[in-house]
Chain A
Amino acid sequence: MNNSLIKIAQPLLSIQGQLASWSAVTSQIHTSAALCRVVSGKYRITKKRDRPLTYEMANPPHYIAHRKTWNSWNTSNLKDGLRRSETAVEDEFIRRFMTGTWHGLMCSEVIIKRQFNHIRVAAIVRRAVSPTKMYFLLGYTEELLANWLQCPVTLELQTVDSFQDVVFKYI
């Protein structure tokens, strides 16, 4: 079945150049379920009311730009923005890389800000390892991400003593 799909897709690929100018239209179509509006980005209250939430988690998505801001800052999603899917995949890659490399240290969402060809990655980390090790990880992350993403990457970290410091409320 897959093969047949590709066969159908192939003649389409030949007119890809013409389609490119219409990509703005195609990206308008949403296929996700309407339910998401109610549950996505929100946290369920626990029985014991002991689930810790950071400020970012405590505010549901409709508060974006009112009480909290975006986790990704870029111009891809503006009208005529470039590299939409690429940016999304890259951002996800950066987030996973950060949580894996700074294992158990991340206390907040990873904020990714793009300016020109420069990516700034901001986060709050725990002071669980010595500053020397933190500097090692800093240099390592910056260099490796820069090589993958082919552009300068800067980490902008802030440290807190423990995860408790970023807890906004318990639900």
Chain B
Amino acid sequence: MYSNIILPRQWSRIACFCRLSTIEGQKLPQSGKSSDGISPPPRIPRGPTDILQALAATVGPDPTAAHYKYHDDPYLIPLSNYRKRAYALSAEAGRKAAAWIRDEHASLFNTREWDPPSKLKTPYYNADPIIDAFEPKPIYNEESKVTEEDLKYTINNALLDDSIKIFQLLGGIENISEETKLALLQFLCFYNEKEPDSMEWLEERWFSANVRERQLATWKLGGLADKIFASIEPKTPEAYCAVIQGMAKHYQAERAHALSQEAIEKGIPLSTEVFNSLLACVGFLREGTALRAEALKGLLTQMGEQGLSPNEETLTACLRSISSWGGGKMLQELALQVVAEFKQLGIQPGLSAYYYLLCLFCKERGPRIDILSGILVDLENRENLDAKEPTDTNFFITAMGVCSDHLQDINMAERVHALLMKGDNYKLVGDAYKESIYYRHLVTVACRHAPFERTTELLDTLVPNVYVPEPSVMEEIIKTLEVAGAGERLAQAWSQLVVFGIAKRVRLVERLLSAMSSTYEYQTEEVKGKMRDAAADILKFGKIAENEQNAKDLRTPVQKLSANAVSNIVELCSDVKDTADANWDAVSEGIQRLKQSDATGVPSRPQALADVALRAATAGKLGIAASAVQYLAECGFEEAVPASIQALGAVLNRPQEEVETLLEKQRADLTKAVHPSALALVDAYYLAKTGAPAREADSSTSSDSDSESSSDDE
């Protein structure tokens, strides 16, 4: 019964195979028409991942979602720079732990889970089919029995330390073939006998602190590479090429040049790549721009004599040398000359070449030279930008830096950004460090020079999933919001500060508060409410942070808000009509803080506090009004006197003159005339007037006032 079904299936498979083989065998017409009018399109050869790439190309980047390396769950989505880094690296640490277990306990991984033990074919590894990516990595130690095959394996997989160990186990230079010796020499020269960062750990590479490569001679003199080179007899062109390139790459310029001269004298042909690497370090040979330029030209002519045609890397190498010699008219002209000459040869500058040109022309303190627009026109016309050299990733960050600091042109910045977003050019952004600097430049230039709508649009797409602003950029954003008077966004900015983990930066919070208070009066009632809530929250956050500090005894103490900022909070929060509003608590809390000198300095606008006192008095919050005026009086501000009079007027519901005449009276009389809770205001008035509290000032005349007022309190 079942065989009936199986048979046709096999037949169809065979038929399918036949059909395929005929397709492979016959010559397909390129654009011919068959007799029945159907013309199949010519066959396009596809790679194994072409379909996947085509599918991926249909999905654009989604700025509203976190990067796909993060788990799509509210609890696991990072919102600050610190968390982005921590989460991605923890996941990778987990992977590393698993890889360690796999390598250390390879015996646990040598059968398939579902197989009975009798199926174990070899004691090592029984995967079927064997997939290289899941194979346990071989571990070599002193007892391993190694062959030349192992050496070749380690060289092909860039395992440098292992390859050196195997080389020693094999018994050194004498015991390996010339071919492997050369391969090992090339390998050692490329990495300068230093284990390269593994390609397996992407996040580590992405987040590794990218220190700018210092141009120091790091080549290991008399190292293994040198020894192997010395042992190769007769010296082949490949050996020379490898060792010269290695030395030039690691800035051992003089020896590299000496060796190249030696090779040329011996009549050994050198490759274009060797000359490229020599051109890149030609500046180390001479001092002074003129001599260096001379040497550069000399090398190029030597290259011509050898019959070598230059390529794109030659241009990059020349420009790299030129740009590293400093600036100045002469070098700039030389660079343009070089570029023009290469263009005549039909060689277009790549991204690295443009990067070095930008470095050379757009100095921070120099005349504004707009070479970027020309570069952009060229790059925009290209089909796609390929990464060819490691320095290619420097182009976009430098171009954006030029837009922001040098040209200060938002249109140019947007063009650069559009270019980066085109196709899969985003791979050229480099690493996490470069990416954040790129966006820092972009957001800064947008804040300073773009119309407000475009800035907010940009911010809405970028923040927080693509980019989380650093404190300096956040300050820039707050400034822009202040200028545009966007109160709602300022209120949002506070919650962003909290989420991004930079809410403890006092300078930033103060900047935000002053922006809020200066834009407050132009807002609608609804927005005003949001701003008040934000201000009250700032105060609360500060208190929580302080409690945390006391509880944990942190090493870096929490900075305190300045009196200015606190008075801003008080001013914002006091603008409520409703006496039951929760914001009054924030006001009294703020004034308490001011009075206990928990805030540094004194407020620069005492009038704001005077207004607060009046508002509080009108709302019937006498305690708050009194303490505000008292604080003003204690600080010795002139505003204390009119403020106390106004507040009293509001409390007693009398015109100002009447209050003034009332205050002329002795305090003892006042205690009878005025409600006890308003007495505090009177006290503040005297304090401001005489510099001493009223009670002490006239204690001689009214010794019974103390007892009386205290009885009133009861």
A131 within 8 A of B: yes
Apart from A134-B75, A140-B94, A159-B73, 5 more pairs, CB < 8 Å: A24-B2, A93-B114, A134-B71, A139-B92, A143-B94
Query: Which residues of A have CB within 8 Å of B114?
Result: 85-86, 89-90, 93
Chain A residues numbered 126-156 whose CB sits less than 8 Å from any CB in chain B:
127, 131-144, 146-150, 155
Contact status B94-A89, CB under 8 Å: no
Given A24-B2, A159-B73, are A93 and B113 also a contact pair (CB < 8 Å)?
A: yes
Contact status A143-B113, CB under 8 Å: no
* Interface 1/0 per residue, B83-95 and A, CB below 8 Å: 1001110111111
Contact status B3-A133, CB under 8 Å: no
Whole-angstrom distance between the Cβ of B389 and the nearest chain A Cβ: 32
Query: Which residues of A have CB within 8 Å of B74?
Result: 159
Contact status B134-A89, CB under 8 Å: no
Contact status A139-B73, CB under 8 Å: no
Stretch at the interface among B96-104, B272-280, B641-649: B96-104
- Count of CB-CB pairs between chains A and B under 8 Å: 91
A93 CA / B108 CA spacing, docked (Å): 14
Contact status A144-B102, CB under 8 Å: yes
Q: Interface majority SS on B: helix, strand, loop or mixed?
A: helix
Question: Which chain B residue lies CB-closest to A88?
Answer: B114
Find the residue from A24, A134, A155 having the highest chain B CB count within 10 A.
Answer: A134
Find the residue from A139, A146, A155 having the highest chain B CB count within 10 A.
Answer: A139
**4 nearest CB pairs, A to B:** A139-B94, A140-B94, A143-B98, A139-B91
Q: How large is the interface on A (under 10, 10 to 19, 20 to 34, 35 or more residues)?
A: 20 to 34
Contact status A135-B91, CB under 8 Å: yes
A131 CA / B86 CA spacing, docked (Å): 9
B56 within 8 A of A: no
Given A86-B114, A90-B113, A139-B90, are A131 and B2 also a contact pair (CB < 8 Å)?
A: no
A22 CA / B6 CA spacing, docked (Å): 10
Contact status A135-B73, CB under 8 Å: no
Whole-angstrom distance between the Cβ of A139 and the nearest chain B Cβ: 3
Query: Which residues of B have CB within 8 Å of A146?
Result: 134
Query: Which residues of B have CB within 8 Å of A139?
Result: 90-98
A29 within 8 A of B: no
Chain A residues numbered 45-85 whose CB sits less than 8 Å from any CB in chain B:
85
A25 within 8 A of B: yes
Residues of A within 8 A of B (CB): 21-22, 24-25, 85-86, 89-90, 93, 127, 131-144, 146-150, 155, 157-159
Question: Which chain A residue lies CB-closest to B93?
Answer: A136
24 contacts across the A-B interface (CB closer than 8 A): A21-B3, A25-B2, A89-B114, A93-B114, A131-B78, A134-B71, A135-B88, A135-B90, A136-B94, A137-B94, A138-B94, A139-B90, A139-B93, A139-B96, A141-B98, A142-B94, A142-B98, A147-B102, A149-B113, A150-B112, A155-B71, A158-B73, A159-B75, A159-B76
A147 CA / B88 CA spacing, docked (Å): 21
Contact status A150-B87, CB under 8 Å: no
